[in-house]
């Protein structure tokens, strides 16, 4: 039972009485109606009656989708109310998710119409910025998928990011090679992962505790070496080269999608390919079947001859490789120098993306993109001068996470043996 | 646990044998076994050793002497030893006492304030950590992992600080009101994840982490607002807390204040709450086995919510002590890292109230000593973070310490790592 601690007393009663009036569908519907009304009334009344332009480029130029801000805010609010109403009235099960998504997207658009009224929002820039901000989250969440599907809770993603970022900056500078940087980022991630693996699998320490402590350890070690080595002599130790942007001719000329997906750095492609590879690996290969077996019921897996601990070691280390590569983003892509605690909690958001994405690679991708979008939007809106203070805009991803974890995804079920060390009896 | 059962008859004989041993023999026998005290001390020792390696590795002057190690090893060894011993001597001098100051005191040239200053610093840093540590420890006992101590402490800082400068009350009463404001603020910030956990099953690790960031951002916004911000300053800093709401402290250079006394009282209170009260019984029952607790008729949801409220209140009080005792105004970093350090303190104190108190004092000592080390030898304060993390890693993995030092099994097998629970 401890493995599924996300189920509560309410859930149990719901399972025995499925015909209760306030079913999950109705509750979600009611919530959608409320946020839709908020959007239509509050956003609508606050919005200027000026044109909101959503340009299909990286700046204010070019073709654009235009709508009157006030009208748009009200319109999309009403759509959210309608989606909620449909859920309240009751629809077939397969329409539920679609309606829910429609309602949330409409709410977001209503918010955008309010904020962008009289200004413009460059869609290509927003999309590529979201993808870039989502990049470490995708890789971190994938690392979490690898660990947790085999039954090891990975809270140390933040530490793996930091070590990866530090390793990339240090070795990348010393070797003056961006590829050496990427490799040492991976090594940094693996160092933390191997500590996690040994302590959690061999020494049976509580995995959440190990994760948290390893984060602090990574923070301390990188901060210490930063102050001792990098700060006194930044040129020698802390000026890594940037990861080059590559452009695939032909594909990059497709409007909107082209510049976002095909004119970017290698890490983005790596992340997107890894999503597919890990998905296929988990669902279609022997390794995936064994991983899932070990994560759900290690005793049964052991009985049929799967080496539980060995597989867990391997998956945690693979997770370290992926998360370490994610750490390279911070020093080789987003900025060009290491700084103390520069990951600033991205590892924890990746963890939330993992849970939000229900422990699946594509779910994690979607959740990471959502967080990336929220972050990008907060940056953009505070840059163009939004009436909402930028601290509150920056809260968006965090509050969205709480809402998502608390309600949106319903009952999230972790792998049954997640966090439970396996002791052969 | 299961391995102990068949060994019952020989154990009886062994017990007889041991009875005949002298007290000293027993003491020595137990000294090298994996009991709580030995493991704790060896953990600290191991952390210091690894810290020493880091110090040497990061010092380019000493490191260069290693390049001709085979030719003249004495250079490298004495260089390293000098550096390490100076660093750790500073750690001690900054945290407990400086022999030179004591000497001066005896000669009549010194000042008792200078002699006591290290201890004062230690206790000053320890005071808020006791509260945040107790917050985490209490939640742990009920099976919840309260990573939100940081956010709850930040909110406690805000409410206590605002109550400290926004309302005018007579001295004494004002202090009580400001402390209560911190308590309530933290409790509210703890109530939210508690409620979400109880109602929707949202995992408290995720929700509390997110609330940490939210609280910090809110603080960043709040101190820029009119009425909060100090009108005479241009930077982001709030007005100063009225002197009537400040925790009474020792005379001038000494910073230690009433917060540490309050911390001891609250520790006793939490010990009573966990071990003697009916709520404590319920929370321990839920923490050990929530299904059994449910079957026994306890409301798990209610216990979780109450637990987070109390834990949040404790962390909030820690924030209040920080503002009213040391900081006396709100800044973006007013809460420092007390919430996260509280986490380590609770783990080091093995989630027991009095253990947490001592762990907090140890952490306060490391922090106070680290300050002197940074000033004197120029070794970054981050080393203290590493030491703190390492100590907890070793404490949390007693099997590792046992393996490194080839310790005997402790007679009472209390050193289990039984907290493993998963999501």
pLDDT, tens only, B19-35: 556 777 777 766 666 67
Residue A177 has phi, psi (to 5 degrees) of -140, 130
Position B419 pLDDT exceeds 70: no
Per the domain annotation, does A421 fall within a domain? no
CB A238 within 8 A of CB A260: no
Cβ-based contacts of B422 with chain A (< 8 Å): 2-3, 5, 153, 207, 414, 417-420
* Whether B421 and A204 lie within 8 Å, measured CB to CB: no
Residue A24 lies in a domain: yes
Residues of B in contact with A387 (CB under 8 A): none
pLDDT of residue A318: 95
Q: How many CB atoms lie within 10 A of CB B30?
A: 15
In a domain, B289, yes or no: yes
* A49 found inside a domain: yes
pLDDT band, residue B8 (cuts 50/70/90):
very low
Q: A244 and A114 in one domain?
A: no
Confidence of residue B310 (pLDDT cuts 50, 70, 90): very high
Using the Cβ of B5 and the Cβ atoms of chain A, whether some distance falls under 8 Å is answered with: no
Same domain, A18 and A54: yes
Identify whether B304 is part of a domain: yes
Coil, helix or strand at residue B256:
coil
pLDDT at residue A242 in the model: 85
Residue B328 lies in a domain: yes
User: Quick one: which of A363, A350, A343, A290 has its CA closest to A319?
Assistant: A350
Would you state the pLDDT for residue B410?
Answer: 62
Nearest CA in chain B to A295: B422
Contacts of A401 in chain B (CB under 8 A): 206, 210
- Which of A1, A140, A217 should one mutate to test binding to chain B, selecting the residue with the greatest count of B CBs within 10 A? A217
Chain B residues whose CB is inside 8 A of the A345 CB are 209, 213
- Give the total number of structural domains in chain A: 2
Helix (H, G, I), strand (E, B) or coil at B423: coil
Q: Which residues of A touch B140 (CB under 8 A)?
A: none
**Residues in B touching A398 (Cβ below 8 Å):** 210-211, 213-214, 217
Residue A127: both structure tokens together: 């999309």
CB atoms A355 and B203 under 8 Å: yes
Residue A202 lies in a domain: yes
What mean pLDDT, rounded, does chain A reach? Answer: 84
Task: Kindly state whether B366 is in contact with chain A, defined as any CB-CB distance less than 8 angstroms.
Answer: no
Is it the case that residue A120 has pLDDT exceeding 90? Answer: no
Looking at the structure of chain B, the number of domains it has is: 1
Range(s) of the domain holding residue B194: 127-358
Q: Would you give the DSSP letter of residue B202?
A: -
**A298 within a domain of the structure (yes/no):** yes
Contact state of A5 with B300 under an 8 Å Cβ cutoff:
no
Nearest to B392 among A3, A155, A213 (CB): A213
- Residue A315 or B109, more confident: A315
Does B103 reside within a domain? no
- Given a cut of 70, whether residue B230 has pLDDT beyond it is yes
Please answer yes or no on whether A224 and B396 come within 8 Å at the CB atom.
no
Residues of chain B contacting residue A170, judged by C-beta atoms under 8 Å apart = none
- Most B CBs within 10 A among A170, A205, A342, A387, hence the mutation to make, goes to A205
Which residues form the domain of A312?
Answer: 124-408
B237 touches chain A (CB under 8 A): no
Is residue A413 predicted with pLDDT exceeding 80? Answer: no
**Same domain? A292 vs A370:** yes
Domain boundary among A67, A92, A118: A118
For residues A195 and A166, membership in a common domain is answered with yes
Q: Is position B333 within any domain?
A: yes
Q: Is the CB of B423 inside 8 Å of chain A's CB atoms?
A: yes
- Domain for residue A13, yes or no? yes
Q: Which residues in chain B have Cβ-Cβ distances shorter than 8 Å to A208?
A: 145, 205, 421
Same domain, residue pair A58 and A106: yes
Assess if residue B79 is contained within a domain: no
Task: Flag whether residue B294 sits within 8 Å of chain A, measured between CB atoms.
Answer: yes
What are the distances in angstroms from CA B213 to CA A298, A313, A391, B162?
36, 32, 10, 20
Q: Which of A101, A118, A135 is the last residue of a domain?
A: A118
Tell me, yes or no, whether B138 lies in a domain. yes
Task: Give pLDDT tens digits for B44-75.
Answer: 899 999 999 888 887 777 777 777 777 778 88
SS (H, E, C) chain A: CHHHCCCCHHHHHHHHCCCCCCCHHHHHHHHHHHHHHHHHHHHHHHCCCCEEEEECCCCCCCCEEEEEHHHHHHHHHHHHHHHHHHHHHCCCHHHHHHHHHHHHHHHHHHHHHHHHCCCEEEHHHHHHHHHHHHHHHHHHHHHHHHHHHCCCCCCCHHHHHHHHHHHHHHHHHHCCCHHHHHHHHHHHHHHHHHHHHHHHHHCCCCHHHHHHHHHHHHHHHHHHHHHHHHCCCHHHHCCCCCCCEEECCCHHHCCCHHHHHCEEEHHHHHHHHHHHHHHHHHHHCHHHHHHHHHHHCHHHHHHCCCCHHHHHHHHHHHHHHHHHHHHHHHHHHHCCCCCCCCCCCHHHHHHHHHHHCCCCHHHHHHHHHHHHHHHHHHHHHHHHCCCCCHHHHHHHHHHHHHHHHHHHCCCCCCCCCCCCCCCCC
Confidence label for A12 from pLDDT (cuts 50, 70 and 90): very low
The residue of chain B with its CA nearest to that of A207 is: B420
In 3D, which of A351, A321, A370, A362 has the Cα closest to residue A414?
Answer: A351
Asked if A110 and A234 sit in the same domain, the reply is no
Minimum mean pLDDT range among A369-373, B27-31, B363-367 = B27-31
Q: Dihedral (C-alpha) A337, A340, A346, A348: value to the nearest 10 degrees?
A: 160
Is residue A5 predicted with pLDDT exceeding 60? no
Q: Cβ of B347 and A209 within 8 Å?
A: yes
CA distance linking residue A79 with residue A323, whole number of Å:
39
pLDDT for the residue numbered A9: 44
What mean pLDDT is predicted for residues A384-389? 78
For residue B153, tell me if it sits in a domain: yes
């Amino acid at each position: 039972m401890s493995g599924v601690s996300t189920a509560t007393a309410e859930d149990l009663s719901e399972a025995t009485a499925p015909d209760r009036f306030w079913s999950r569908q109705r509750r979600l519907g009611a919530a959608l109606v409320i946020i839709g009304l908020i959007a239509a009334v509050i956003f609508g009344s606050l919005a200027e009656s000026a044109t909101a332009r959503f340009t299909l480029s990286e700046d204010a130029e070019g073709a654009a989708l235009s709508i009157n801000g006030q009208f748009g805010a009200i319109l999309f609010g009403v759509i959210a109310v309608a989606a909620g109403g449909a859920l309240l009235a009751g629809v077939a099960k397969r329409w539920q998710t679609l309606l829910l998504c429609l309602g949330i997207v409409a709410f977001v658009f209503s918010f955008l119409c309010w904020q962008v009224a009289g200004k413009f929002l460059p869609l290509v820039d927003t999309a590529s910025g979201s993808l870039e901000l989502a990049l470490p989250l995708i890789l971190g969440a994938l690392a979490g998928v690898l660990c947790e599907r085999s039954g090891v809770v990975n809270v140390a993603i933040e530490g793996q990011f930091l070590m990866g970022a530090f390793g990339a900056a240090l070795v990348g500078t010393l070797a003056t090679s961006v590829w050496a940087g990427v490799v040492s980022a991976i090594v940094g991630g693996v160092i933390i992962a191997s500590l996690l693996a040994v302590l959690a699998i061999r020494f049976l320490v509580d995995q959440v505790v190990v994760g948290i402590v390893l984060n602090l350890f990574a923070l301390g070690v990188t901060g210490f070496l930063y102050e001792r080595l990098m700060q006194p002599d930044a040129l020698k130790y802390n000026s890594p080269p940037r990861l080059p942007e590559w452009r695939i001719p032909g594909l990059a000329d497709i409007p909107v999608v082209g510049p976002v997906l095909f004119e970017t750095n290698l890490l983005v492609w790596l992340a997107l390919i890894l999503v597919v590879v890990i998905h296929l690996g988990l669902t279609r290969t022997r390794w995936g079947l064994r991983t899932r077996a070990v994560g759900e019921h290690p005793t049964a897996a052991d009985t049929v001859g799967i080496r539980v601990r060995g597989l867990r070691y391997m998956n945690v280390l693979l997770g370290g490789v992926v998360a370490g590569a994610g750490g390279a983003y911070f020093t080789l892509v987003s900025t060009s120098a290491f700084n103390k605690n520069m990951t600033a909690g991205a590892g924890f958001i990746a963890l939330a993306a993992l849970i939000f994405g229900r422990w699946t690679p594509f779910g994690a991708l979607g959740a990471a993109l959502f967080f990336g979008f929220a972050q990008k939007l907060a940056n953009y809106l505070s840059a163009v001068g939004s009436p909402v203070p930028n601290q509150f805009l920056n809260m968006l991803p965090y509050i969205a996470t709480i809402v998502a974890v608390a309600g949106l995804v319903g009952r999230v079920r972790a792998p049954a043996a997640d966090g439970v060390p396996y002791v052969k009896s | 646990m299961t391995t102990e059962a068949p060994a019952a008859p020989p154990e009886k004989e062994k017990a007889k044998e041991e009875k005949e041993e002298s007290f000293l023999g027993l003491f020595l026998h137990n000294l090298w076994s994996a009991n709580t005290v030995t493991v704790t001390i060896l953990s600290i020792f191991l952390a210091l050793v690894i810290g020493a390696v880091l110090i040497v590795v990061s010092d380019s002057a000493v490191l260069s002497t290693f390049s001709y190690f085979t030719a003249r090893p004495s250079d490298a060894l004495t260089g390293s030893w000098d550096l390490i011993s100076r660093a750790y001597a500073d750690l001690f001098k900054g945290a407990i006492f400086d022999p030179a100051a004591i000497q001066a005191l005896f000669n009549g040239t010194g000042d008792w304030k200078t002699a006591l200053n290290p201890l004062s610093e230690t206790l000053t840093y320890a005071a808020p950590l006791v509260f945040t540590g107790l917050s985490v420890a209490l939640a742990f006992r009920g099976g919840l992992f309260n990573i939100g101590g940081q956010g709850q402490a930040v909110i406690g800082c805000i409410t206590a600080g605002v109550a400290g400068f926004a309302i005018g009350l007579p001295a004494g009463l004002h202090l009580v009101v400001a402390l209560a404001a911190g308590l309530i603020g933290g409790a509210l910030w703890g109530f939210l994840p508690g409620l979400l956990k109880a109602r929707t099953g949202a995992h408290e690790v995720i929700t509390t982490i997110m609330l940490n960031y939210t609280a910090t951002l809110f603080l960043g916004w709040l101190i820029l607002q009119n009425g909060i911000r100090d009108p005479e300053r241009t930077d982001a800093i709030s007005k100063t807390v009225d002197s009537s709401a400040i925790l009474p402290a020792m005379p001038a250079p000494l910073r230690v204040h009433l917060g540490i006394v309050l911390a001891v009282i609250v520790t006793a209170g939490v010990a009573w709450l966990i071990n003697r009260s009916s709520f404590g019984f319920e929370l321990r029952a839920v923490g050990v086995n929530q299904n059994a607790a449910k079957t026994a008729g306890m409301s798990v949801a209610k216990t979780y919510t109450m637990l987070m409220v109390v834990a949040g209140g404790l962390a909030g009080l820690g924030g209040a002590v920080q503002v009213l005792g040391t900081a006396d105004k709100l800044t973006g970093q007013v809460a420092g890292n007390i919430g996260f350090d509280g986490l380590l303190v609770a783990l080091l104190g093995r989630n027991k109230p009095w253990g947490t108190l001592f762990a907090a004092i140890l952490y306060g000592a490391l922090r106070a000593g680290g300050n002197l080390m940074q000033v004197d030898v120029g070794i970054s304060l981050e080393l203290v973070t590493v030491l703190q993390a390492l100590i907890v890693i070793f404490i949390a993995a007693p099997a590792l310490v046992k393996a490194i030092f080839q310790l005997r099994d402790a007679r009472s097998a209390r050193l289990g790592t039984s907290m493993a629970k998963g999501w």
